[in-house]
Structure 1
């Protein structure tokens, strides 16, 4: 039997994140898409925030505030743009694509598992609200956690040929009084 990606994101809406159960989430956001590229290539682009301006209109800019093992005196420009376990970052979010205004959101990578071809294993990265970030809100007002998974599948094309695609799945759960 050949695995195929899910045909909809309906199953993601019921998924919990590690810290927020689906039943406790006030807001749940999810999406999934298939990309005609190897899983490792998709993963490499996802974790390299310097590539985001070319594909991510919602978060086109990320400031890495701290990388594990880096000198505490390092400036953001001197830090690697690649996400890893423990990376502390600020997303400069464009809530309204027609506006130039940004909303800064402090986050930290809480789980980092690169994909593996042998044995086959999906990649998974999770980031969550960084309550230590300057300007962060107290947890009772707003806490968010987002899960990204990348996994390669064989799918049958319209021409009947089997091809490899990478499915990118993500879901976010939010809790707190300020969740809209």
Structure 2
């Protein structure tokens, strides 16, 4: 069994926020019994998110740099193993001209469910984001994958970075028997103090749920197709 060092990624910086400068830093990690390409495909294909992502069950793609990115491998079929969710389902964007695949330059809105355990309908918290880095894992060279998103400062109603500047990183590393997935976020700005005070513990739990949900979805899809 793979033993994860630094499972909360406390020593890992984001591209523009050093660890020692972060006002808020949270993270999570897991081992998934699947190739990096399979895990990458599930995470970057946002059409699968309603089937596994209880924290962000819906995404709206606002713009893409190209109309039809080609992922390195197909995402698992979201139909066979839908994840249980107590939140009210909301349909995906019906704009068929925009690919659901995240790539460098994608602008998208994460419709965050801040209380995934509630049985009552609840409004989502919308976060406008931009993919600033996107490097798919390479099976031939063994190079891992990495995707980074940050706040879309050009979105309507976006906060200036001086108030809140978040950066989030996912990394995928091939290990014996599968993939180590690491997921962490750093925040700066005056409002980051408020987020840390009010939501740090809850967000840490949701980050751990994020990778657990991804693991369950990818491994469940592989079992169903075996």
Q: Same fold (TM over 0.5)?
A: yes
2:173 is aligned with 1:176? no
Q: Are the structure 2 counterparts of residues 52 and 109 from structure 1 closer, same or farther at C-alpha, using a change threshold of 3 Å?
A: same
Instruction: Give the superposition deviation at 1:153.
Output: 0.7
Instruction: Give the superposition deviation at 1:101.
Output: 1.8
TM-score normalised to structure 1 length: 0.85
2:145 is aligned with 1:148? no
Q: Are the structure 2 counterparts of residues 21 and 8 from structure 1 closer, same or farther at C-alpha, using a change threshold of 3 Å?
A: closer
Q: Deviations over 1:110-166 (max 9, x none)?
A: 001000112111100000011001121111111100000111211xxxxxxxxx111
1:124 alignment partner, one of 129, 146, 153: 146
RMSD: 1.5
Q: Deviations over 1:20-74 (max 9, x none)?
A: 111111100100011111111110001000001111111110000000034xxxx
Q: Is the 8 A contact 2:31 2:180 kept in 1?
A: yes
Instruction: Give the superposition deviation at 1:5.
Output: 5.3
User: What CA distance in whole angstroms lies between the structure 1 residues aligned with 2:114 and 2:34?
Assistant: 28
2:178 alignment partner, one of 153, 165, 171: 165
2:65 alignment partner, one of 68, 71, 75: 68
Structure 2 gaps, min length 5: 68-93, 196-226
Instruction: Give the superposition deviation at 1:77.
Output: 4.0
Instruction: Give the superposition deviation at 1:95.
Output: 1.2
1:139 alignment partner, one of 149, 157, 161: 161
2:10 is aligned with 1:13? yes
* SS in structure 2 at match of 1:78: coil
Equivalences for residues 38-57 of structure 1 within 5 A: 38-57=35-54
Number of residue pairs matched by the alignment: 163
Q: Is the 8 A contact 2:4 2:30 kept in 1?
A: no
User: What CA distance in whole angstroms lies between the structure 1 residues aligned with 2:123 and 2:134?
Assistant: 30
User: What CA distance in whole angstroms lies between the structure 2 residues aligned with 1:106 and 1:27?
Assistant: 19
Structure 1 gaps, min length 5: 155-163
More helix by share: 2
Q: Is the 8 A contact 1:60 1:93 kept in 2?
A: yes
1:88 alignment partner, one of 107, 112, 118: 107
User: What CA distance in whole angstroms lies between the structure 2 residues aligned with 1:149 and 1:88?
Assistant: 20
More strand by share: 1
